[in-house]
Amino acid sequence: MLGVAHRSRLSVVQAYRFALDLTPRQERTVLAHAGAARVAHNWALARVRAVMDQRAAERTYGIPDEHLTPVIGWSLPELRRAWNQAKVDVAPWWAECSKEAFNTGLEALARGLKNWSDSRVGKRAGRRVGFPRFKSRRRSTPSVRFTTGAIRVEPDRRHVVLPRLGRLKLHESARKLARRLEAGTARIVSATVRRDGGRWFVAFCVEVDRAARTPNQPGVVVGVDLGVTHLAVLSTGEVEPNPRHLDVAARRMRRLARRVSGRVGPDRRTGRRGSKRWERARARLGRAHARVAHLRRDGLHKLTTRLAREYGTIVIEDLNVAGMLANRRLARRIADAGFAELRRQLAYKTGWNGGRLVVADRWYPSSKTCSGCGVVKTKLALSERTYTCTLCGLVLDRDVNAARNLAALAVTVAGSGSETRNGRGADRKTPLAGLVAVKRQPGTATAGNTGTVPPQGRTSNHVLTSAS
């Protein structure tokens, strides 16, 4: 989100992605631009690595730091300046491609170097980022990004115009983007042409002036429990089935993979290239994987859009997906569900629709807690799909019980941002010190009256007490 234009409108940056139908000549031109980006990236990376290796060698000789080979800048303006001085010798054909092609490779390198540097000194969160590597012509994904020049959608809404590439035909209508451009509520910032799964796509990064929206039920809180058996179970009792696109396509993908392995593939030791039949078989396998990814993305977009437009507050869990993938029996199905993508989409769609996303703490016992009386079980096996409370006698589906507990947690969370964490949002358990959250005392509700969040958003009582 960039900012608020005025009270009734919201300025955001979003992407519009369309499939392209390129002619053979246009495809060769796009590949030439993607190759130019790769050449610029590899040249600049070799230059940076040469200076770093030279400085490391000089330190082994005992040379003081002030007398070492001068460092070179890693920022995009400095890399671009160095490329412009050397492009005549490095790429005599540079005039055949747009300057945006070379800028694409240099920008990717500058971003990679910055991420690597920030990760080393602790400025970047998450897992450690490795040093940028050279891009291979056969293994890297062809891509080129345009930020200047003629970038527009034709009046017929079936063609787009890009610098140096000219008029490209779309596989589908661009009416959604064209309507906003004609109304003056959108401005194209950049366009990226990329090959994905054997097809070419163009993605427009657009600054959109969106009308402020209000959910259909702004006062209703809904808890969403994610799982493998069912993709999502809502506290209202609604169940979203898990389509399991990967399992459905697994048989065909295994057959295609066996066909690839039976062909004469490349050999790095001898420098042998893969045969034509191997390339065709690999392309078919890549298209099968891309189809699964597209189906998964489409289903997640439909689910998150519906939730963000319907409910005012959505509560989900902060799942440890990396730890869950360690279970070799469930890893494939967990990865196929796309939990992280679902949370990412909910985070920005709730902001667009005027709602709120609450993320429960990773260690919140939503599945072990009784949504009727609040008692917490010590152990709950994954095979137990029905929650049975030994105190109040509540018998309820395990996932529905967890979703109701998540919904009951919303009122205890402060803040009104688009995404709010419950508690401190840490990645380890809280030590026994200070104040900890305690559920309400057992026995305050009967089995027939579960005491979960009503439509008005009221929740059960939570109190803070000192840990012993």
Residue listed under structure tokens 């994954």: 382
Residues 107, 225, 240, 318: which is the catalytic one?
A: 225
DSSP string, 119-133: HHHT-S-SSPPPPP-
DSSP string, 357-406: EEEE-TT--TTTB-TTT--B-S---TT--EEE-TTT--EEEHHHHHHHHH
Three-class SS state of 178: helix
Residues 196, 310, 317, 419: which is the catalytic one?
A: 317
Non-local (6+) Cβ contacts of 297 within 8 A are: 338, 341
Structural contact between residues 191 and 146, judged by C-beta atoms closer than 8 angstroms = yes
Question: Is residue 225 annotated as a catalytic residue, yes or no?
Answer: yes
Q: What is the DSSP letter of 272?
A: B
* Tokens (6 digits) for 188: 């194209």
Three-class SS state of 299: helix
**Closest by Cα among 391, 387, 381, 383 to 402:** 387
CA atoms within 13 A on the CB side of 292: 20
Q: What are the two backbone dihedrals, phi and then psi, of residue 386, each rounded to the nearest 5 degrees? A: -120, 125
Rounded CA gap, 86 and 175, in Å?
Answer: 43
The b/e string for 249-265 (b: 16+ C-beta within 10 A; e otherwise) is beeebeebeebbeeeee
Give the other-Cβ count within 10 Å of 83's Cβ. Answer: 22
Three-class SS state of 423: coil
Residues 240, 336, 361, 399: which is the catalytic one?
A: 399
Structural contact between residues 249 and 286, judged by C-beta atoms closer than 8 angstroms = no
Three-class SS state of 143: strand
Question: Is residue 196 annotated as a catalytic residue, yes or no?
Answer: no
Q: What is the DSSP letter of 135?
A: P
Question: Is residue 298 annotated as a catalytic residue, yes or no?
Answer: no
Rounded CA gap, 302 and 357, in Å?
Answer: 17
Name the residues annotated as catalytic.
225, 317, 399
